[in-house]
Amino acid sequence: MGNSNSKDGSSLEDFGIEYASAVESTSLVNIKDKYGLFIDGNFVESSSGKSFKTLDPSTEKPLSVVTEASSDDVDRAVRAASVSYEKYWKKMPGADRARYLFRIARHLQERAREFAVLETLDGGKPIKESRDVDLPLAAAHFFYHAGWADKLEYAFPQRKLEPHGVVGQIIPWNFPLLMAAWKLAPALACGNTVVLKPAETTPLTALLLAEVIRDVDLPPGVVNIVTGAGKTGSAIVEHPEVNKLAFTGSTEVGKLIQRSAVRRNLPLTLELGGKAPHVIFEDAALDQAIEGVINGIFFNQGHVCCAGSRLLVQESIADNFIDRLQKRIELLRVGNPLDKNTDIGAINSQAQLERIDQLVKAGIEEGAEVFKPSCSLPENGYWYPPTVLTGVQQSHRVAREEIFGPVLVVQTFRTPEEALEKANNTPYGLSAGVWTEKGSLIHWMTERLRAGVIWANTFNKFDPTSPFGGYKESGFGREGGMHGLAAYLKNSGGRS
Ligand code: NAP
Ligand code: MG
């Protein structure tokens, strides 16, 4: 990241060396003027004729027109999934289902560059992230779950396993393709058919995935992808023939969905928000910890549910740590997401930009001090500089509410007990990070931190074999690993 070549944080520009941009070509990507809904193996029109635009948040230019699925369209998709479940998928041996999943994974690898560029165009994330994180992980999720498809009875022995049938899945805009992979791969491996809704601002990679699904000859109706806004999502949630729901998004919408699912006794998994503590003890390897903190909060512009958004740093090293952190932030490149050197891309939407801005202003009003680097921001598009708020009290909104942007909130502590108390003082419980050279302190902290995923001396490490999910208002159920499989099978003994 950045272009530092000296320890005191000076940049190449300080030596009169000009920075040359390295912009990824978009020639591989063929964006259509208009996209239909992917129902029963075909791209079809909406019964209502309604559509909406998706744009490139780094330029505000429209990329394409996408069909808005009405409740009639959702009904068509659910029926296609239901027929396909009975006709093909339920009867198909696991080894044959695996073959389709392996094919999808290989197609994703073959077309990785095209997918990465499209993901960056539609959502604003830096190309180096979509290329090096989103795409490899999305393919890895299909490979991993393909491996389980014919071995489910070994994963959950002596149980009468059964798929749920039709699964409704709703995903957010921060990792559009990766979240589709997290949802689709385990559902299909376990023998379910799916109706999936991508987020309104980032539908294009899910629609390209629909093309892949058609190209690998997956039986029609096994996967249906319906685009639209909250109303389309709600039509999936309320559909009487959906047998299980899986949702990733805000706690607010998660609660609405939970209410509906409880009424009908539907199995449900919820992956919601977070406000992760990132705890740095005085004996930590500070250079590495700084890189970890930078990655923890600025990866994907901070649009990450498990972002390390609350820095808790031991008082004895706080001034030094924050000083070094700020020097490091000066080196981050904010700008064109297609430039391979970019560290921080565009904010996903105007609405999200307004929310970030509003929360930071609230923080300043409540008494926080703000640090922003001297970087210049592009004129068009949605941008927010990497920001650090210090002097933050536990009662401040910025310490309690999820900002979901490139904003780090700093608090200090004196003892491990105080660090723990502050870390757990949140309605969320998705992730946490601990930095110390003392193994016993890592164990002491990780046993007591109330978070679904805890990283020690690293941050943001993901793998399909490792279950991911939260406690409290961060949701319930796990994705990845055997826990993730359990959610897509009846009688697995796991939470579904
Ligand atoms: P959101 O408003 O909850 O949206 C998530 C998805 O739900 C989108 O597809 C959205 O459609 C749809 N939706 C909106 N209202 C709905 C309703 N009433 N019924 C059914 N579906 C509905 O959240 P967001 O603003 O897109 O995403 C940011 C939030 O997601 C953050 O809080 C973040 O922490 C959380 N998140 C959690 C995880 C995790 O793994 N735990 C991962 C990523 C994000 P539209 O796009 O059209 O609004
Ligand atoms: Mg878009």
pLDDT digits (tens, 9 = 90+) for 41-80: 999 999 999 999 999 999 999 999 999 999 999 999 999 9
Residue nearest to atom 37 of ligand 1 (CA): 272
pLDDT of residue 1: 38
């009846």: which residue's tokens?
A: 490
Quickly tell me which residue has 């999910």 as its tokens.
469
The pLDDT tens digits of the residues spanning 436-489 come to: 999 999 999 999 999 999 999 999 999 999 999 999 999 999 999 999 999 999
By three-state DSSP, how is residue 4 classified? Answer: strand
CA 210 to ligand 2 center in whole angstroms:
17
Letter string b/e over residues 369-393, b meaning 16 or more CB atoms within 10 A of that residue's CB: eebebebeeeeebbbbbbbbbbebe
* Res. 190: pLDDT tops 60: yes
pLDDT band at 19 (very low <50, low <70, confident <90, very high): confident
The pLDDT confidence band at residue 494, using thresholds 50, 70 and 90, is confident
Q: Are strands 244-248 and 37-39 parallel, antiparallel or unpaired?
A: unpaired
Give me the active site residues, please. Answer: 271, 305
> Ligand 1, from 125, 202, 239, 248: best to mutate by most atoms within 8 Å of Cβ?
248
Q: Which atom of ligand 1 is nearest to the CA of 228?
A: 47
Beta strand 387-390 with 369-371: parallel, antiparallel or unpaired?
antiparallel
How many CB atoms lie under 10 A from the CB of residue 259?
10
Given ligand 1 and candidates 174, 231, 252, 348, which is best to mutate, with the most ligand atoms within 8 Å of its CB?
Answer: 174
Query: Could you tell me what percent of the chain has a pLDDT over 90?
Result: 94
Question: How many whole angstroms separate alpha carbon 379 and alpha carbon 389?
Answer: 25
Please identify, by atom number, the ligand 1 atom nearest to the C-alpha of residue 198: 9
Angle subtended at Cα 193 by Cα 188 and Cα 197, rounded to the nearest 5 degrees: 95
Residue nearest to atom 39 of ligand 1 (CA): 271
Nearest CA to ligand 1 atom 34: 273
pLDDT attached to residue 394: 94
399 Cα–ligand 1 center, Å: 21
299 to each of 127, 141, 174, 264, 350, how far by Cα in Å? 12, 20, 11, 38, 19
Query: Given the DSSP bridges, would you call strands 166-170 and 387-390 parallel, antiparallel or unpaired?
Result: unpaired
What is the CA 473 to chain-centroid distance, rounded? 17
Return the structure tokens found at 305.
């549910």
Protein residue whose Cα sits closest to atom 21 of ligand 1: 233
Atom number in ligand 1 closest to CA 249: 30
Ligand with an atom nearest the CA of residue 201: 2
15 Cα: distance to centroid of ligand 1 (angstroms) = 45
Best residue among 66, 169, 171, 250 to mutate for probing ligand 1's pocket (most ligand atoms within 8 Å of CB) is 250
Residues in the ligand 1 pocket, defined by CB under 6 Å:
170-174, 197, 199-200, 229-230, 233-234, 237, 248-250, 253, 256, 271-274, 305, 402, 404, 430, 475
Measuring CA to CA, which residue among 329, 341, 337 is closest to residue 303? 337
Residue 54: CB atoms within 10 A of its CB come to 24
**Residue 150 scores a pLDDT above 70:** yes
- Could you tell me the domains of the chain? 34-272+474-491 (3.40.605.10), 277-463 (3.40.309.10)
Q: How far is the CA of 354 from the centre of ligand 1 (A)?
A: 17
Mean pLDDT along residues 183-211:
98
- 90-112: pLDDT as tens digits: 999 999 999 999 999 999 999 99
* pLDDT above 50: residue 7: no
Size (the chain), residues? 496
Which amino acid type is present at position 295?
Answer: N
Counting residues of the chain whose pLDDT is more than 70, the rounded percentage is 96
Ligand 1 centroid–CA 303 distance in Å is 12
What is the residue with the minimal CA distance to atom 15 of ligand 1?
A: 230
> CB atoms < 10 A from the CB of 206, how many?
25
User: Rounded to whole angstroms, how far apart are CA atoms 175 and 138?
Assistant: 10
CA-proximal residue: ligand 1, atom 36 (nearest): 249
Rounded distance from Cα 241 to ligand 1 centre (Å): 22
Kindly state the average pLDDT of the residues 276-293: 98
Confidence of residue 395 (pLDDT cuts 50, 70, 90): very high
Residue 493 is predicted with a pLDDT of 82
The reported pTM is 0.95
